[in-house]
Structure 1
């Protein structure tokens, strides 16, 4: 009897251990999946249109023809998740050169929660969109953006542009004044003419330099220079930028990047600011020192570039009736570094 009891006890213990092992294995698998979602997979190549990379929002594509080439333009279109404001307007979010539409995630959520429809394109040449070797220009990107609004049946939108997206926002407002309600510029580049302090380079030189820019530590240092305090959330940008260097189509990405550099270098918007005739809000992180081509300038000229406290005040003085918000202790990413303040200022401005 005791032997039988012992046998049964051992038998039940083995079954329980097996069940416990299965449960632990399931928990380990779940933990691994959670880690995979939050830990950058730096050793996995990424397609130049971010193929397979998860998106916070559904991604759609608009087919366009640019300079004779058929291209797909990626975008997200978010419905309001909160009560519509009195204005009821759509907000268009324009990303920077070293970013994609996904960089607007916290702002997009806040705007949708405040009752706005939110449209976030990846411009052609960036993010999830096609990377053709075009003669890029802000007029072309503005025309693509207008075509997207046509496709979505949106007659008029408020525009928020960050970094290079601020340059595009200015050009969009000037090219399509009847389609632009209000304009927010978040640390926009192009508030100075880089050609005065940065030497010009051929696209071939820029392409070669971009091809060689494959060092993970260097890429992280570049993005760290944008912000005052580094946070884990910013690692997304490092991961995306590095992983595309591992893929077979990276040269195509690098060539598109070289072309869009030329666009930003040769088409500053500083001279266009006095022509703006709509409500404009400038949100300027005071620690920002970003400038197009800064690494190509001499040390003396490098020190003169990207002085956003000065550039922001000059821009506000040049834009009739504009409003300036200066954020102390904030760098190039006010929508991330000071999200609460940024969202309050933007929502107040959009309410008019």
Structure 2
């Protein structure tokens, strides 16, 4: 009986430990009680490196573009990498990639695009051209002639436009899980969004559970295996939406949905180009990646098995290794 009791107790402990471990790897069903509003300028969010600002005047408004400028931590190679983020994110989520590239000798610029993160949130007409021009302005401000440009998700579209408009300033183009791969093959959109979409016309959201579930669905469908640290992205977006600035932030997101494809740019881009991503990013994604790489004159494709939309968060070592390999060419 003593042996049986011991085995039963051991089994109970094992099951209990497994249950606790599973609970730790799954997001909570409801937003934690201590979660509150987060300003849309992310004043409460610490970035991994000091944030600097470029001031510009656009459409008659004074604006600030936030960026991190990280110097090489390994032997400097004299080259620069410029990182830009996806629709739902900000520059700080590139932290591990910044560290890996700086260790390889690169100077790394990671921006918060105008309208996102710690950058200004002006209600002005937005366009792909505007964001590409802002990237060039940051480079001018820092005295950088050329850079390898890397964009994730919507940022992949942005760096495509930069590489088309500024070929002499683009050493390499990298699109990480870009959206719009299956869009139209004709001319890419050029005109900014204007009109009613620019007006924040509602009040902050108050249904905490509904807001939480919406952002949790977004984050969980982007990854194959959930990690507790991913919850921070849910907290920030949840906090933005229940803050006083929520309507403004959402109006700006709407104003940046200016088109769904950069396919019209790709035949005109001469820089070495890499289309890379987690192969579990939806049905047809691997084929779309290979097709995009075939359209780019100097394109190549690389798919990361068992990874979804955010490889720099899900499998940073794998992504960073491929970036270092590609940029060295």
TM over 0.5: yes
Matches within 5 A, 1:261-340: 261=257, 263=258, 266=259, 268-289=261-282, 307-340=284-317
Query: Do 1:159 and 1:184's aligned partners in 2 also have CA atoms closer than 8 Å?
Result: yes
What SS does structure 2 have at the residue aligned with 1:74? strand
Matches within 5 A, 1:59-208: 59-85=51-77, 88-193=78-183, 204=197
Cα separation, 2, equivalents of 1:107 and 1:207: 35
Runs (5+) with no aligned partner, structure 2? 1-30, 187-194
Q: What corresponds to 2:44 in structure 1? A: 52
Q: After superposition, give the CA deviation of every residue in 1:19-71 in whole Å (9 maximum; x if it has no partner).
A: xxxxxxxxxxxxxxxxxxxx988522111110132111101111111222111
What is the CA-CA distance between 1:195 and the residue it aligns to?
12
Query: Do 1:203 and 1:258's aligned partners in 2 also have CA atoms closer than 8 Å?
Result: no
1:253 lines up with 2:249 in the alignment: yes
What SS does structure 1 have at the residue aligned with 2:109? strand
Q: What corresponds to 2:35 in structure 1? A: 43
Whose helix fraction is larger, Structure 1's or Structure 2's?
1
- When the two structures are aligned, how many residues end up with a matched partner? 289
What is the CA-CA distance between 1:255 and the residue it aligns to?
1.0
**Deviation >3 Å, runs of 4+:** 39-42, 202-214
What is the CA-CA distance between 1:271 and the residue it aligns to?
1.9
Cα separation, 1, equivalents of 2:175 and 2:302: 10
Query: Do 1:79 and 1:117's aligned partners in 2 also have CA atoms closer than 8 Å?
Result: yes
Cα separation, 2, equivalents of 1:89 and 1:41: 46
What SS does structure 1 have at the residue aligned with 2:302? strand
Shift in alpha-carbon separation, 1:204–1:342, aligned structure 2, 3 A:
same
Cα separation, 1, equivalents of 2:86 and 2:196: 20
1:346 lines up with 2:309 in the alignment: no
TM-score (norm 1): 0.77
Query: Do 1:274 and 1:319's aligned partners in 2 also have CA atoms closer than 8 Å?
Result: yes
Cα separation, 1, equivalents of 2:203 and 2:142: 35
Runs (5+) with no aligned partner, structure 1? 1-38, 197-201, 290-305
Cα separation, 2, equivalents of 1:180 and 1:205: 32
Cα separation, 2, equivalents of 1:285 and 1:251: 32
Output the aligned Cα RMSD: 2.6
Query: Do 2:204 and 2:242's aligned partners in 1 also have CA atoms closer than 8 Å?
Result: no
Q: What corresponds to 2:190 in structure 1? A: none
Q: After superposition, give the CA deviation of every residue in 1:193-234 in whole Å (9 maximum; x if it has no partner).
A: 2799xxxxx964996799669611221111111110111221
